[in-house]
Chain A
Amino acid sequence: MNPPRDQAARDPAAPQNDEEATGLPLLRSWKRVYLFVAGWFLIWVGLLVALTVLFS
């Protein structure tokens, strides 16, 4: 649950609870979503490195 608006305004950069559901199968927490995105990025970097090496 979010803090009341006046409290939020006094400490606007305070950490936010992160429990809102992602609604995604398998990726049920936001941490998993972020790890999936980071993993996808690494896969693409790997593929691009492979392309560079294979056709150089």
Chain B
Amino acid sequence: MSPLDFVILIGTMAGIAAYGIWRTRGSRKLSHYIKGEPTMGWATIGISVMATQASAITFISTPGQGYESGLDFVQNYFGMPLALIVIAAVFLPVYRRLDVYTAYEFLGRRFDAKTRLLGAGLFLLQRGLAAGITIYAPAIILSTMLGWRLDLTILLSGFLVILYTVAGGSEAVSLTQKYQMAIISGGMATAFIILLAKLPANLGDALTVAGGFKKLEAVSFSFDVNRRYTFWSGLLGGLFLSLSYFGTDQSQVQRYLSGASLRASRLGLMFNALLKIPMQFFILLLGVLVFVFYQFEPQPVFFNQAAWNYAVKHDPDGKLRSLEQESSAIHGQKARLIRAWLDARHAGDRKAEADARAGAQAALEHSEAVRTEAKAAVLAANPGTKGNDADYVFITFVLDHLPHGIIGLLVAAFFAAALSSKAAELNALGSTTTVDFYRHLIRREADDAHYVAASKWFTFLWGMVALAFALFANLAENLIQAVNIVGSIFYGVVLALFLTAFFVKRVGGTAVFWAALASQAMVIALYFSLNISYLWYNLIGCAACVLLSLLIQAWLGPNPGPAAPAPFRS
């Protein structure tokens, strides 16, 4: 990175954080600190919801996923628009009418205190565990590629986000997300345009090459449950995952409860329902076009260059260098065949087109085989390295092929994405700890200033937990995968608590509480005994909890009705 890149990176990150702190200075009311400015419009809410969901991994790793596997990951989002409609129509009016600070307060009103604490506890457990990942995951990639110290990258970005989240609360989070999302959108759009300009083929030819190499298979109606992304798993599993995430996860609920009105909150959600699939499509397409770009331009055998260089130094036999030479030779041959394929296509010579395409396909398979061998060799030389280098594809393209200034903008976009999702998480962890535990169980009678101070301290403490986890995550790389799985295991049951609350009037708190515990145990047992896509656990956990709660309620006898509000203060 050049000095210009650093000026853009530091200027945008520090400037946005400083603006967030300045705009929210002096806030003493708990409702402002947790829910934000009561005049917030639908656009700010919509951007805030989008920025909370889209972490740095979305913008760093998703193009790599497009490069490796094509567009099929877009199906993961097929359930989201439908889930957002359900939340806007059913969940949101109730949350707003009850004027709750957290989603779990609603469980206390509808069921009882123990169910509220169970919901809030499950949220703190899964979100608290995941807290370090949103800082660690991008930091490891960026520090590796930019040659920065990992611990300093984690600490600097971590303290920046803690500073403005603690100082300004929910309002600062929403305000900064608006500008961070502008940086992200600007950066990604610029990268897309420059990539299009740099492609040696026009867009039509690029799509022909991508399609010929099976990178444009966006939708599959296969019923194979072992296939990770299909229309059905995306629609059903994605529906339940999105209902859980947007409807019951406080990091999202807090974003749209900050709206000036029910209308603003609803329109903010519909903004996301309209834009999420197109956004993910374009990010994946960016990765697919990077794949096409590297079919014409020389590409690294292994995209994690730091791991590659380390492995080369510890490769006395020179195996990696010979793989690199082999890859380079195949690349030249493959590029010639692809050009011949496109020329034959333009000339309308079907036979020559088919021959050249088959030759290019064979060259690609050969090239992939060399890459696989190289990955295994890098892994053998450095067992701590991830064998999959897809996360490094886009950042390699950015650093090698974009002009200075734009590199700074893109790196700023990656950090902006990391900070915006992290800020919403910390804000939600602090709010839930304050409202559902501290105010509910420990200190019932205090003024707003006291609870704002408590919320600041809890946010700070969760920030420290996240930083500690991020700093030590490199000692246990598989924790990242474990944390993602933990989220999927818990989400279904948490969603069931809410679906039962909204739609199954006959079930009371005791029945749903024990049903949730039993279903959770069952999902954990199934996880250790089945080998299915993790998305399905959302559906299984949810269905099991609703059915069990009906059975337990039938055994207990009729439910006396919704809990009275008095003992369950918010």
Contacts and interface: CB of A to CB of B under 8 A. Distances in A.
Interface stretch (B77-85, B157-165, B365-373, B521-529): B77-85
Interface stretch (B53-61, B90-98, B417-425, B458-466): B90-98
Given A6-B565, A55-B210, A12 B261 contact: no
A20 B93 CA distance: 11
Q: Which of B110, B218, B231, B501 has the most CB of A within 10 A?
A: B218
Contacts of A30: 88-89, 266
A44 to B, nearest CB: 5
Interface in A21-51: 21-24, 30, 33-34, 37-38, 40-41, 44-45, 48-49, 51
Contacts of A23: 263, 267
A22 B562 contact: no
Given A13-B94, A52-B216, A55-B210, A34 B263 contact: no
Interface stretch (B127-135, B270-278, B331-339, B427-435): B270-278
A6 B562 CA distance: 12
Contacts of A13: 94, 110, 501-503, 505, 562
Interface in B198-233: 207-208, 210-212, 214, 216-220, 231
Interface in B163-222: 207-208, 210-212, 214, 216-220
Given A12-B562, A33-B270, A54-B211, A2 B97 contact: yes
A37 B270 contact: yes
Contact of A56 (B88, B97, B216): B216
B375 interface: no
B240 interface: no
Nearest to A49: B219
B68 to A, nearest CB: 17
Nearest to B231: A45
B262 interface: yes
Nearest to A14: B94
Contact of A45 (B78, B273, B274): B78
Contacts of B207: 55
Nearest to A17: B93
B278 to A, nearest CB: 7
Contact of A41 (B219, B277, B565): B277
Nearest to B273: A37
Given A18-B93, A20-B263, A41 B98 contact: no
A6 to B, nearest CB: 7
Nearest to A13: B502
B74 interface: yes
A9 B570 CA distance: 11
Q: Which of A9, A10, A33, A40 has the most CB of B within 10 A?
A: A9
A49 B273 CA distance: 19
Interface residues of A, number: 33
Contacts of B277: 41, 44
A29 to B, nearest CB: 12
Contact of A55 (B93, B216, B261, B263): B216
A22 B505 CA distance: 29
B93 A16 contact: yes
B354 interface: no
A45 to B, nearest CB: 7
A3 to B, nearest CB: 8
A37 B274 CA distance: 6
A9 to B, nearest CB: 4
A16 B94 CA distance: 7
A24 B210 CA distance: 40
A35 to B, nearest CB: 9
Contacts of B93: 16, 18
B256 interface: no
A9 B109 CA distance: 6
Interface of A: 2-3, 5-6, 8-13, 16, 18, 20-24, 30, 33-34, 37-38, 40-41, 44-45, 48-49, 51-52, 54-56
Interface of B: 71, 74, 78, 81-82, 84-85, 88-89, 93-94, 97-99, 106, 109-110, 207-208, 210-212, 214, 216-220, 231, 261-263, 266-267, 270, 273-274, 277-278, 281, 501-503, 505, 561-562, 564-565
10 closest Cβ pairs, A-B complex: A55-B211, A16-B93, A9-B565, A48-B218, A55-B216, A41-B81, A12-B109, A37-B273, A34-B85, A12-B110
Given A38-B81, A45-B231, 16 more contacts: A2-B97, A3-B97, A8-B97, A11-B562, A12-B110, A12-B501, A13-B94, A13-B503, A16-B93, A16-B97, A20-B263, A33-B270, A40-B274, A52-B216, A52-B219, A55-B216
23 contacts: A8-B97, A8-B98, A11-B562, A12-B97, A12-B98, A12-B106, A16-B93, A21-B263, A22-B266, A23-B267, A33-B266, A33-B270, A34-B88, A40-B81, A41-B78, A41-B82, A49-B219, A51-B216, A52-B219, A52-B220, A54-B211, A55-B210, A55-B216
